[in-house]
Amino acid sequence: MKYCVKIIPKAEKDLDAVSGHEFDAIKKKILALSDNPRPFGCKKLTADEGYRLRSGDFRIVYRIDDQVKEVVIYRVKHRKEVYR
């Protein structure tokens, strides 16, 4: 069963700052989360509720709600900035 992928406004603003082939790669990974919210390579975050997924030098940080089949993306940042 497919999951609904939602992007909060803060993550949308993060995505607006990304351009070119990096944006395309991130978009592809985000869309793939609807089929498999826990793909190979995703990591469960210990300090925060959620998961992170790499896309080059960028990190997609998201939460999964299995009850309502929803993935909420709340950060898309360069790896230097995401953990501050």
Given a contact cutoff of 8 angstroms between Cβ atoms, the answer to whether 61 and 73 are in contact is yes
- Rounded to whole angstroms, the Cα distance separating 36 from 78 reads 23
Its pTM surpasses 0.85: yes
pLDDT of res. 46: 84
Q: 4-78 maps to which CATH number?
A: 3.30.2310.20
Q: Where are the domains of the chain?
A: 4-78
Give the model confidence (pLDDT) of 5-62 as tens digits: 999 999 999 999 898 899 999 999 999 999 999 999 999 988 778 999 999 889 999 9
Asked if pLDDT for residue 66 goes beyond 80, the answer is: yes
Compute the distance between CA of residue 24 and CA of residue 32 in angstroms, rounded to an integer: 12
> What's residue 83's pLDDT?
62
